[in-house]
Structure 1
């Protein structure tokens, strides 16, 4: 029952509203108008105050129709995009792909999810199908380290489980596991000296940090764990022995104990190296989001698996190497998996999505809602 043309037109409308992360005001106002116009209850939290972003997280409720005895399910997508995301000019090409003109991203990450939500709501209203209460949670700042979800007002989330419409992969793909991430800062302080007159009196923070990095386990540690140095900052004139550098890094793992061991290995490498050279060092770490890992027969997985099969598709589970708002929702105690919605080459000017996958995503949202209601009625 998906209205293909309407869905494509709405997607194109959404991506043409500039909403680079941190500047979500305009897209938030448009979404509020759309959801309210469909008769849905809408609430906001105070995420803008907490994060400094351009809007709050939105909590939209579609009331139950019929018995209303289904569990409350939620769907989430984010309203922000990466750069370059200003002045997007979408087009539908002859091969069935939606693309930009090549000077910007397309914005299907994550406006494809938003468009699918809106179309599913319209279909449910047009058909009058029975369903339980459904929440739609639209976050800000996902592209800024899940900022909106991390600032989310938990009291406004009533759902028992849910689905993030925010992963690459074919429609029918289910990210049943995703790692936690710790953000790491490493500070190394040596001693300055004139590099030509008396370099032996100095302690190069660059040299110490470089040696420490060479001793760290980095990259792919094991199937569940990774680590990376992302930035090396410090130094100045070539005639001065560098006194201070700062490293920005991360570590990820599906296993909490492995994550802690990885961070400790990095800490030991930098502290021992600094001590050898007579420098000082400090490693600071912050857990940005927790991991999640679901078995195939977990209710949140089984529901979407049944829904995918009802569309004639083959479900496929996979372990993601990246984080999403789904990680945060799981940390809040609401079982959530991330779903593949078909977008490709995200975060680049080559980003694209098949119109067929946009339609399939909207169909999947309605199928999950229907499957949830049917499961409760059969109990």
Structure 2
């Protein structure tokens, strides 16, 4: 019970839990269960006898209510996996104690520097203890900070039964970073009415809206033959793929859009002369915008194919997740109670949209309305990732206060 959020965070980040988008298994990497097994053990040590790890790597547990009146069951959720964008093997966390300003050079790779000019939120961290990686790996604050905060809040609630709250469920998922975090979650077993993902960034920020997201795969079949006899006959699938990518509008790309602007983003290309494959992610805050961008991409592909009459193309759209605000607007109390909890820990709530997704997107449409709460992390998916210990402590307090708000605002 005396362990701090920092103690837990440092223990979790050194466990390699990277997910793998090329794997069709769930979880996509068995090593994610290494952290899951540890969390199951720690939850049981806290006295949560129903804590268990399922075959898909999800961890479930229940903190019993401390009041007799019926209170809606709420859930706090975080994901164990780290992003495939940069290695998460052999993480060596570093702590800058009592940060006094200035750039932070990372010891494992001195060429990597967390610069104040590029990370202006550092200006708010004077006197804080800043945790970074050594620059050779991800830190893993996304989302092991959320896990550490939930575990620490759970220990707080269990240690003090005088804190009034209803039943609180804990859920740790796998494969969130590759868009599959909610695929194998059993909501009936979880038994919660409303949820909160601990997967946000700057303290005070409440995220109640995400992109809607689809994945598009374009499979190209060209006409391959010996290049010495190819004139007027060969149709090279690699060149077809290149023509499609070259015609993408430059102003509808991640690197040229911001705020509520969506994009078309090629994420993978592979192939040979006879066949090639392009993979895109399409993002927009509205369903209409999503479909417009898919139609634009299909039009580009069809136009290119007119120059290759003996080749064929298959265009496949796969739904990934949808904007959770559609669901959350039907349950305003979920965000209202969170806003009150944020005020109680001394912060000014700021509601914002995520230019991305979270488990909350899928969970909301599965029947668990689920906005996103800050963890204090910054520069996710990068070796320059950093987090303040003091901000993590505020996130812990937010979970505790939110549990109390739900009890207070439920009529007896």
TM over 0.5: yes
C-alpha change, 1:78 and 1:27, in structure 2 (3 Å) is: same
Q: How many angstroms does 1:312 deviate by?
A: 1.3
What is the alpha-carbon distance in structure 2 between the residues aligned to residue 154 and residue 38 of structure 1? 23
Normalized against structure 2, the TM-score is what? 0.81
Q: In the superposition, relative to structure 1, how do residues 300 and 38 fare at CA in structure 2: closer, same or farther (>3 Å)?
A: same
- CA displacement, residues 65-93 of structure 1 (integer Å, 9 cap, x when unaligned): 12242211111001122352222222321
Within 5 A, what are the aligned runs for 1:45-56?
A: 45-47=54-56, 56=57
Q: What secondary structure does 1:309 align onto? A: helix
| Contact residue 296 and residue 302 of structure 1 kept, 8 A | no
Residue 8 of structure 1 deviates from its aligned partner by: 1.4
- Which residues of 2 match residues 233-272 of structure 1 at below 5 A? 233-235=270-272, 242-272=273-303
1:156-195 matches, cutoff 5 A:
156-168=189-201, 170-195=202-227
Question: Per-residue displacement from partner, 1:128-183 (whole Å, max 9, x unpaired)?
Answer: 2111000111001222x232411222221221111111122x21101111012111
Q: Give the C-alpha shift of residue 198 in structure 1.
A: 3.3
The answer for the alignment partner of 1:33 in structure 2 is: 41
Give deviations 1:236-265, integer Å, cap 9, x for gaps.
xxxxxx332211111122222322232222
| Residue among 346, 350, 366 paired with 1:316 | 350
In the TM superposition, residue 214 of structure 1 has moved relative to its aligned partner by 4.2
Aligned partner of residue 410 in structure 2, secondary structure: helix
The whole-number CA distance in structure 2 between the counterparts of 1:20 and 1:205 is 33
1:360 counterpart SS class: helix
* Aligned 8 A contact 1:188 1:274 in 2: no
Provide, for residues 97-126 of structure 1, a one-character-per-residue CA deviation record: whole Å limited to 9, x for no partner. Answer: 012233222221111111111111121222
1:373 aligns with 2:382: no
The answer as to 2:343 corresponding to 1:342 is: no
CA distance in 1 between counterparts of 2:282 and 2:394 reads: 35
2:235 matches 1:227: no
Equivalenced residue count is 360
Structure 2: how far apart are the matches of 1:357 and 1:190? 54
Structure 1's unaligned 5+ residue stretches are 48-55, 236-241
Give 1:187 shift: 1.3
CA gap of 1:68–1:320, structure 2 versus 1, over 3 A, is same
The Cα offsets for residues 264-311 of structure 1, whole Å up to 9 and x where unpaired, read as 222232124213420211111111222211459811111110000111
Given that 1:253 and 1:259 are in contact with CA atoms closer than 8 Å, whether structure 2 keeps it comes out as yes
Partner of 1:299: 333
List runs of 5+ in structure 2 lacking aligned partners: 20-28, 100-128
2:5 maps to which residue?
A: 7
| TM superposition shift of 1:361 | 0.8
